[in-house]
């Protein structure tokens, strides 16, 4: 009998009515002749309410106790989901992360799964039950409750699918799948039927926040094919899997945009070993998350280093860079916000030449000036004025033949 | 170092401010030179909210899943309590029932504790932490979550006190202790300093609902001395322990009253073996909870059987008794509500003669008619008109010298 893992996020189980809908879908899947494991997140809003409670008793709660507290959210959702299935005449059993055999390391609030021993799951599946597992949580080998951090429920689903060698892993969410571009930006965007792990990762890191990168990386590592689809309809979603020869026929899989970016340039950095290291070590120590880094070719013994980040990160920098610039003998520091990043992603660009040229041409057609360029093996990103990002995305989308027919 | 177990009920941890107060008290207890284990209930209102959620997805949720759901209430409270202690600079660790080693049988929603293996508790105590344990819950030897039913958190505290051989077990509640009578009924009622398990049990079964009987029975079985006291002040409470010679010097420890009673009389029951059994089997099958049963001495081949119950139970009876009465050839059935029960309790009445006489005399003084009498080794209960119960309690309280000086 085929074995299917389905994961439902907080919005999908956001209230009793939606939980009932999830229960219906799980029962339908079972009645179609499958064994079914469901992974559920906490009902939307619950985690925030628990965090608020914690703040009322402690300004800085320990991470161990936050895990104990937050793990109750998924436990509540899993029990209610099992009850809803039972009330429709189905057989269901709920299991906490610990009961489901999800063993993690001891890094509270962002634990890593070290091992899955799905004995209880298999036992209950064998008895014909739909097994509901709490997402986002596990336990250490010493028996402490841990949580997996952001996107943890996706991770639970993929880890379980790997451990039980599932025939399918479906990530139900509030979007229909992965799109060639954000449909709110480019109305002609199409849903992508199949995408490789690497493309999905580049899309995720470029602003298409359907899933956290770590879940995709985990799936890639263990070769778990999964599907991202909507819990509000029955449309097929996007399959994420190992790349195959056929995928390379398309040069660009999608276009992603990220607004609210900021750029910092440190000018006239002495072209000596160690200067860039000093700069970025100082930023890392201040927990500033850097995105694109570009260093111009050195001329006359100095070089300009530019990098981008989320606009929110800019505040953390303060006068840090002015001090570091002085220390390393650089010229000066300039900061700029109101910029955005546009990326084109596709494993096909490895074999298709001229992708960069086509992108630059499309932007030039719209009179859009490129401030920075950064490339990886399967992605080209450009930094442009934020005001122009929608127009840029539409032009690029059309240029690469991604528009819906 | 003395080891103290403290239990805090749902009202005591009812909001973040109260949790902070509980945390303060736990820290003070530790700083006074004790090792401390705290057992906490769910914040008041939380359990009801969870039950409401369950009803929204299922008209009849399974007991296994109810246990999974409800156990999140105590888990939330224990994490918040640990956080509150930590925010005051203390060291604290929270443990679920399962983590604390509370093993139960598999009777969901009213499981019995079969075994306690407090290894985790001892480890954390050894590291100087205050250990917060979720009340009301445990796990089966197969790893399923169970709950202990009403009064379950008291049971957790007493079972832990026994398992770790604690030097003291304090049950914090919203009353100051056990009183000689309900102070709302008899304003001169006094707090009892020391009471035996058996007296506590008789008081509990007669309407003094400070604790569920099963927790007291458990404490008696394992010889755990405990104290019932208030979490809102620092007054000493009532110590509940094995009876000692000194206790017998007082004939009557307390007076308890139970309103809202109803009485049923089945008249002219044939005085043959099996008739009473038929009657009470039928009531048991209908889940009617019976309290006092009185059968008059038989005369002329028939007898009258009367029994009392909570008024709410009366509805369940319907025409059941009319049918049974016909079957066994009894005369007729009469029902009456508007009655109440008054009990005097004390192990001293074993050695003091005249307790019954003194009680009847006190009631006669007030012109109060006794409808039924029932006695046990350490209790005398009378059924009277409900309207007269407050007066009866005051007269009795005074007659036995229980009034505050």
pLDDT, mean over chain A: 92
The dihedral over CA atoms of A163, A164, A170, A174, expressed in degrees to the nearest 10, equals -60
| Chain segment A106-136, per-residue pLDDT in tens | 999 999 999 999 999 999 999 999 999 999 9
Least confident of A28-37, A134-143, A359-368, B316-325: B316-325
Give A-chain residues touching B80 at CB under 8 angstroms: 53-54, 57, 69
Q: Which residues of B touch A54 (CB under 8 A)?
A: 79-80, 83
> Is B3-174 a domain of CATH 3.40.720.10?
no
Residue A133 parent element (H or E) = strand A130-134
C-beta atoms of B75 and A61 within 8 A: no
- Give the one of A78, A84, A145 whose C-beta lies nearest to B58's C-beta: A84
A296 has a pLDDT exceeding 80: no
Q: Which helix (H) or strand (E) holds A117?
A: none
Predicted local distance difference test score (pLDDT) of residue A207: 63
Q: What is the pLDDT of residue A35?
A: 98
The residue of chain A nearest to residue B24, with distances taken between CA atoms, is: A57
Order of strands, edge to edge, in the sheet holding A113-116? A113-116, A102-104, A137-139, A145-147
Tell me, yes or no, if the pTM score tops 0.95: no
Identify the three-state secondary structure at position A53.
helix
CA distances from B210 to B14, B158, B218, B224, B296 (A): 18, 15, 15, 17, 34
Dist. CA B186–CA A193, nearest whole Å = 78
Give pLDDT, residue A358. 92
Q: Which of B90, B42, B157, B135 is nearest to A53 (CA)?
A: B42
Q: Which residue of A has its CA nearest to B92?
A: A65
Task: Identify the pLDDT of residue A242.
Answer: 94
Instruction: For residue B329, give every residue at least 6 positions away whose Cβ sits within 8 Å of its Cβ, in sequence order, or none.
Output: B270
Helices B355-365 and B389-399: angle between axes, nearest 10 degrees = 130
Chain B positions touching A62 (Cβ under 8 A) are 82-83, 86
CA distance B287 to chain A (A): 25
Nearest to B109 by CA among B65, B146, B159: B146
Kindly report, residue by residue over A230-279, the tens digit of the pLDDT. 988 999 999 999 998 888 888 899 999 999 999 999 988 888 888 888 88
Taking alpha carbons only, the member of B132, B170, B201 closest to residue B377 is B201
Nearest CA in chain B to A87: B58
Q: How far apart are CA B133 and CA B37, in angstroms?
A: 7
Residue B207 has pLDDT above 70, yes or no: no
Residue A162: pLDDT above 80? yes
The string of pLDDT tens digits covering residues A174-209 is 889 999 999 999 999 999 999 999 999 988 766 667
Residues A192 and A170: their CA atoms lie apart, in Å, by 15
Scanning A63-205, the segments in alpha helix (DSSP H) are: 63-87, 119-126, 152-163, 197-205
Question: How close A215 gets to chain B, by Cα (Å)?
Answer: 27
CA separation for the pair B396, B342 (Å, rounded): 9
> Does ipTM exceed 0.85?
no
Which pLDDT score, from 0 to 100, does residue B350 have? 85
pLDDT at B377 over 70: yes
Min Cα–Cα distance to chain A from B14, Å = 12
Q: What is the DSSP string of B70-92?
A: HHHHHHHHHHHHHHHHHHTT--E
Q: Which of B395, B360, B64 is CA-nearest to residue A96?
A: B64
Predicted confidence band of residue A297 (pLDDT cuts 50, 70, 90): low
Q: Which of B83, B141, B147 to mutate to test binding with chain A, by most A CBs within 10 Å of its CB? A: B83
Q: Could you state, in order of their start, the residue ranges of all structural domains in chain A?
A: 3-174
Nearest CA in chain A to B56: A16
Judged by CB atoms closer than 8 Å, whether chains meet at A68 and B58 is answered as no
> How many CB atoms within 10 Å of residue B213?
15
Residues 6+ apart with CB under 8 A from B179: B189, B190, B191, B192, B208, B254
A83 and B72 within 8 Å at the Cβ level: the answer is no
Calculate mean pLDDT across residues B266-294: 86
Asked whether A203 and A215 are in contact (CB, 8 A), the reply is: no
Give the residue ranges of DSSP H helices in B249-354. Answer: 275-285, 311-317, 320-328
Per-residue pLDDT of B124-159, as tens digits, reads 999 999 999 999 999 999 999 999 998 899 999 999
Query: What are A304's two structure tokens?
Result: 């300009």
pLDDT value of position A209: 73
Q: Rounded CA gap, B11 and B170, in Å?
A: 16
What is the rounded average pLDDT of the residues B293-299? Answer: 75
Give yes or no for a contact between B5 and B169, defined as CB atoms under 8 angstroms apart.
yes
Q: Rounded to a whole number, what is the distance in Å from the CA of B158 to chain A's nearest CA?
A: 24
Among A16, A20, A94, the residue with its CB nearest the CB of B65 is: A94
Is B65's CB within 8 Å of A71's CB?
no
Q: CA A52 → CA A69, A135, B49, distances in Å?
A: 11, 21, 18
Chain A residues whose C-beta is within 8 A of a chain B C-beta are: 16, 19-20, 23, 50, 53-54, 56-62, 64-66, 68-69, 71-72, 75-76, 78-84, 86-87, 92-94, 96, 99, 120, 143-145
pLDDT (average), residues B280-308: 84
Dump pLDDT digits (tens) for A8-24: 999 999 999 999 999 99
HEC string of B125-149?
A: HHCCCEEEEECCEEECCCCCEEECC
């Amino acid at each position: 009998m085929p074995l299917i893992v389905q994961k439902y996020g907080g919005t999908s189980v956001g209230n009793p009515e939606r939980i009932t809908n999830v229960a219906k879908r799980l029962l339908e899947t079972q009645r179609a002749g499958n064994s079914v494991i469901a992974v559920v997140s906490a009902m939307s809003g619950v985690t925030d309410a628990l965090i608020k409670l914690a703040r009322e008793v402690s300004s800085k709660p320990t991470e161990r106790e936050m895990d104990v507290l937050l793990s109750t959210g998924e436990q509540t959702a899993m029990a209610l989901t099992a009850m809803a299935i039972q009330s429709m005449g189905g057989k269901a059993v709920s299991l906490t992360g610990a009961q489901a055999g999800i063993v993690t390391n001891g890094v509270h609030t962002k634990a890593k799964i070290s091992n899955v021993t799905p004995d209880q799951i298999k036992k209950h599946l064998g008895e014909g039950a739909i097994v509901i597992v709490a997402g986002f949580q596990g336990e250490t080998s010493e028996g402490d409750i841990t949580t997996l951090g952001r996107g943890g429920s996706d991770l639970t689903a993929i880890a379980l699918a790997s451990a039980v060698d599932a025939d399918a892993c479906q990530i139900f969410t509030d979007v229909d799948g992965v799109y060639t571009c954000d449909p709110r930006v480019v109305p002609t965007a199409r849903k992508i039927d199949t995408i490789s792990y690497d493309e999905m990762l580049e899309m995720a890191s470029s602003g298409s926040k359907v899933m956290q990168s770590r879940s995709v990386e985990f799936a890639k590592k263990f070769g778990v094919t999964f599907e991202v689809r909507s819990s509000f309809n029955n449309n097929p979603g996007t399959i994420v899997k190992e790349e195959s020869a056929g995928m390379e026929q398309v040069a660009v899989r999608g276009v992603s945009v990220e607004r609210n970016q900021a750029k910092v340039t440190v000018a006239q950095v002495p072209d000596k070993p160690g200067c860039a290291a000093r700069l970025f070590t100082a930023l890392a120590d201040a927990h500033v998350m850097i995105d694109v880094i570009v260093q111009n070719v050195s001329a006359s013994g100095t070089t300009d280093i530019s990098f981008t980040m989320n606009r929110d990160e800019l505040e953390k920098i303060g006068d840090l860079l002015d001090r570091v610039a002085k220390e390393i003998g650089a010229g000066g520091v300039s900061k700029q916000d109101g910029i955005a990043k546009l990326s084109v992603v596709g494993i096909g660009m490895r074999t298709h030449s001229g992708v960069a040229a086509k992108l630059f041409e499309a932007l030039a057609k719209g009179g859009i000036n490129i401030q920075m360029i950064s490339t990886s093996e399967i992605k080209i990103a450009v930094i442009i004025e934020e005001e122009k990002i929608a127009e840029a995305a539409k032009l690029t989308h059309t240029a690469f033949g991604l528009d819906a027919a």
